[in-house]
Amino acid sequence: MSPGQNIDIEKLPGQPGDRVEFDNVLLLQDNDSVTVGQPNVKGAKIIAEILQQTKDKKLIVFKYKNKTRYRRKQGHRQPITQLSIKQILTK
């Protein structure tokens, strides 16, 4: 991730325009240096803004049993949150 990048994650509470902070950063890369947390990188924080609350593309769930005429087709759309990364803060 880098500032200005848009990402989709599982639904978070909030409205479009709200700011979200993530302080459980597991790995941090800055050009050639990589910092791996033990379990988290201390002092690292990601600040993002919610762009919209929407649903992901449809997945088809199809159940079938051989020789018994059993067929079930169902669709599923997972609710997601689209975020825009604003800042990546370190110590």
* Distance from C-alpha of 33 to C-alpha of 90, rounded to nearest angstrom: 13
Model pLDDT, residue 31? 83
CA atoms 18, 23, 27, 28: torsion sign? positive
SS3 55: strand
Label each residue of 14-58 as H, E or C.
CCCCCEEEECCCCEEEECCEEEECCCCCCCCEEEEEEEEEEECCC
Average pLDDT (3-18) is 92
* pLDDT tens digits along 25-70: 999 988 888 989 899 999 899 999 999 999 999 999 999 999 999 9
- Whether residue 3 is predicted with pLDDT greater than 80 in this model: the reply is yes
pTM score of the predicted model: 0.77
Model pLDDT, residue 5? 86
